[in-house]
Structure 1
């Protein structure tokens, strides 16, 4: 009798272990905190002043999340992800009142057929081009972004109501496409988004291309559908710079069309890369203004030792359009040294210097490094951060 009971108990434990192996839920996260010096920040009517401050996410946004999978058989899995971004110094959400402000999706995946997911998700620029740029990686991050993160390579915003497909790898190729619904009766094209991209990896080479289009025909924030796909468009990141100009502030563009291409080449302990992106904005800030932003980034990273990695980038950016005031252009030099105590914990020192060369009376003629609280009162700005990251 005892043998039968022991055998039954063993069988139940084996079955429970098998069921547990078919499903998994993972709690994960990253905390990035540091001390940042900025050479010049505007302070209302008193001009610019230097600033020492505690910062969160100088390289990567602090976050925590849940992801899981359930085996459905025949090589299929149900998958989900919920991810929250937060400010480690205050404990507040990093984006409005959304609990899962970075990711929130559910879907199915297959090694053979790829993954189909629905929810709040990243676009093709983030998925296929950002990994080739230092701003989209752990080797540069927030302050390395192109002006205003206009091309979203630093993942400044995500797309609501998105249906997304990501293919498996075929001989080094991967592709994906996404469509974000407006969820608005009588306004199918208002506040919608769509995106696609492709990448190819072969030996030391890694190449990626991405495209993103955001549509928002709303003319004022009150008319903007709060439940649409487009809720955090990059055009709004220009508000801080333009707030002192004659250009009305607070209104999104009719459309934003962004494309990008990048390439990385690995040799020995080093990886060198180049990224180009272009963003066209039409009818933004309640006017007939249009703008065309272009970014050219050269970057390199070098593993000096298994624990110590050095990285740096130079970015040249320019903005043109029919808004008048000439064509401003930006030069930014960024560098970082990172030391790993372990696989999960590292410390870093990084900095960026930006100079804007305005033409005419352009309101974009002041420097503003991405992630810094306020723009400079002059054409130059310097930022430096010493920080620590921990992953779990």
Structure 2
């Protein structure tokens, strides 16, 4: 098969493109899905200016065990969700040919809850993406606005479940601030090598709770250049069936406790991953190193390992199996949940009714943590914290997704 870009969705379901792979989902080859990309446009710029409307609606019925209840007990949960393999969204993408291989580009993308119609990302109108920039056919692209981090872009095609919104522990993998406000980003592809880097003057996002009342803020404060900034870089290589990537990400969030502003932290992550295509299967593996510090203390120091396979059984049916394993080396936080290192197994069966509509079954089992590797004291904003005294969680969901 010819090489395609494999389309993946991040934790909130944004369709993103990363390094080329030998296989692509059939629905991912259609222009409607490709339009949901970061603004990474394959090929030369369009000959005429254009603005395109695109989107995805994804809902599912879900069942979970050992869920932390309102009374702090344990209970099963039944729910209808507005995201599953992808997050529901609509957006506008524009491109204009300026001549001599140069084009202007923009993306405005809004996250919505398909279950209740509400705006996502804290109620922002275009909380998923909002940027404008210039793209050169020779030198790459530079963009300005609210964008994805370099680490998310690097790992999108090396996460077995393609950064599925439901169950894949994306926030544990790349951190909760994977979209950043006030960001300048560069991306370029030169033969088999793809590179990128970004700088945020103020990430504008929370970096999790972790026993502190607030982490993260808007940044851009007079006389406080470092406060709430973020930056990162990536480099990827793809040739034939083999692909690999390395990436680094750092945010410097405001740390606000009961006594007010306590300074800025340093949250660092570095990762390496690889994939190899064998016939209709893509095998993936990766490692992420992480350290989060506040003034005078180490909040967490952890490692995350993962491996999995994406397999096209038929032209309509695909299966995904993945495994994540996390170790904590040190922490000044309270106990990180049940004894033992968190781990999770996940299985997805996706059946395409057409190029735009698919049905899916996704299930996951987590040990020594909640689903998505949430623990009793570190909530990764997934909402899957286990009940007190429980050391495992199981979840299953049946859903439908339509791309337009």
TM value normalised by structure 2: 0.77
Structure 2 stretches lacking a partner, 5+ long: 1-45, 203-219
Specify which of 170, 181, 200 is matched with residue 201 of structure 2: 181
Which of 97, 121, 128 does residue 123 from structure 2 map onto?
97
Give 1:219 deviation, angstroms.
Answer: 2.5
CA distance in 1, matches of 2:259, 2:81: 32
- Residue 30 (structure 1) aligned to one of 56, 61, 67: 56
Query: Where do residues 247-266 of structure 1 align in structure 2 (5 Å cutoff)?
Result: 254-266=265-277
- Aligned counterparts of 1:252 and 1:126: Cα–Cα separation in 2: 27
Which has the larger strand fraction? 2
2:369·2:385 contact (CA, 8 Å) conserved in 1?
Answer: no
Contact preservation (8 Å) 1:35, 1:53? yes
- Which structure has the bigger radius of gyration? 1
How well do the aligned residues superpose, as a CA RMSD in angstroms? 2.7
SS in 2 for 1:25: strand
Q: How does 1:367-386 map to 2 (within 5 A)?
A: 371-377=382-388, 378-386=390-398
Residue matched to 1:160 = 181
The number of equivalent residue pairs is 335
Deviation of the 1:78 alpha carbon: 0.6
Matches within 5 A, 1:1-392: 21-137=47-163, 140-145=164-169, 149-152=171-174, 157-167=178-188, 169-182=189-202, 183-220=220-257, 254-283=265-294, 288-323=297-332, 325=335, 328-356=340-368, 364=375, 371-377=382-388, 378-392=390-404
CA shift for structure 1 position 369: 9.2
- DSSP 3-state at the match of 2:122: coil
Equivalent residues of 2:150, 2:249 under 8 A apart? yes
CA shift for structure 1 position 223: 6.4
CA distance in 1, matches of 2:114, 2:259: 31
Aligned with 2:342: secondary structure?
Answer: strand
Give the structure with the larger helix fraction. Answer: 1
Task: Report runs of 4+ in structure 1 exceeding 6 Å deviation.
Answer: 221-224, 366-370
In structure 2, the residue corresponding to 1:105 is in which secondary structure? strand
1:237 alignment counterpart: none
Compared with structure 1, are the counterparts of its residues 73 and 357 closer, same or farther at alpha carbon in structure 2 (3 Å cutoff)? closer
Q: CA deviation at 1:66?
A: 0.6
Instruction: Say if 1:35 and 1:77 are closer, same or farther in 2 by CA, change over 3 A.
Output: same
Q: Cα–Cα, structure 1 residues 252 and 203, in superposed 2: closer, same or farther, change >3 Å?
A: farther
CA distance in 2 between partners of 1:56 and 1:122 (Å)? 21
The Cα shift of 1:21 comes to 4.6
Task: Assess if the C-alpha contact under 8 Å between 1:80 and 1:107 holds in 2.
Answer: yes
User: Contact conserved, 2:248 with 2:270, CA < 8 A, in 1?
Assistant: yes
Counterparts of 2:52 and 2:369, CA distance in 1 = 48
